Amino acid sequence: MPHRCHDVLRRRRPPRGTGVSARGYGPAVLLGVVGGAAAFFTASQPWSRVTVETEGLARDVVSVTGNEALPVVGGLALVALAGMVAVLASRGRVRTAVGVVVTLASAAAAVAVVVGGDAVHEALVASLAESPAMTGDAALQDRFADDASTTAWRWACLVSLLLSTVAGAAVVRWGRSWPSMGRRYDSVGQQRAANVDDDPWKALDRGEDPTV
């Protein structure tokens, strides 16, 4: 009987390394939230700018924001940001699905930033047409648009989206092993019951036979 009890106790001990791991949880969520928020903010900043000086007309500085040229970027950045917040309250397959959404939204927005040069150019031409420093000459407007400079905001948005993509991929890869907010709200009774059921030594203290 003592040998049998000893075998049962040894068998019921939880194996090492099987607990919930929070490794990388905080940094990944922080990276995703910062990346998504930064991408959403930088998308609202000027991505292209040109100074217009036409003889006989007032000087004007014309610019176009990322949202004006590529509205999809700001929208996808907001989706990624909301997804990273949702990671905190989700678990299991739902969390993995959220990570997939964050990854795809961030990656798609990043691609749009890289290949969206023509959209930025067209948006700038449209803004030039409304400038008081411009005449109605379409060729002149197009020439000014060609001379426009790309601001650092566009590339800052790209970097932010890449960070958000990495965070989303981390959620997909390791999110299931991370703790969730829901575990904090388990009742004390449930936690105690779980601890009692998993600890045969306490069962012996209560006079119960854990081998039965």
Quick one: pLDDT at residue 202?
A: 65
Quick one: pLDDT at residue 7?
A: 53
Q: Which two tokens stand for residue 200?
A: 């045969």
Give the residue-averaged pLDDT of 104-128. 94
Has residue 185 got a pLDDT over 50? no
Quick one: pLDDT at residue 76?
A: 98
- The CA distance from 147 to 49, in Å, is 9
Has residue 172 got a pLDDT over 50? yes
Give the residue-averaged pLDDT of 167-187. 79
- The CA distance from 50 to 63, in Å, is 6
Domains and CATH numbers, the chain: 24-178 (1.20.140)
- pTM greater than 0.85 (yes/no): no
Quick one: pLDDT at residue 204?
A: 66
pLDDT tens-digit map of 6-46: 554 455 554 444 444 577 899 999 999 999 999 999 999 99
From 52, 61, 37, 50, select the one nearest 157 (Cα to Cα). 37
Q: Which is higher by pLDDT, 30 or 207?
A: 30
Q: Which is higher by pLDDT, 212 or 66?
A: 66
- The CA distance from 59 to 131, in Å, is 10
Within 8 A by CB and 6+ apart from 82, the residues are: 36
Percent of the chain past pLDDT 90, that is, above it, reads 51
pLDDT tens-digit map of 57-113: 777 889 999 999 999 999 999 999 999 999 999 999 999 999 999 999 999 999 999
Alpha-carbon Rg for the chain in angstroms: 28
Biggest distance spanned by C-alpha atoms of the chain: 105
Percent of the chain past pLDDT 70, that is, above it, reads 72
Collapsing DSSP to helix, strand or coil, 200 comes out as: helix
Has residue 171 got a pLDDT over 50? yes
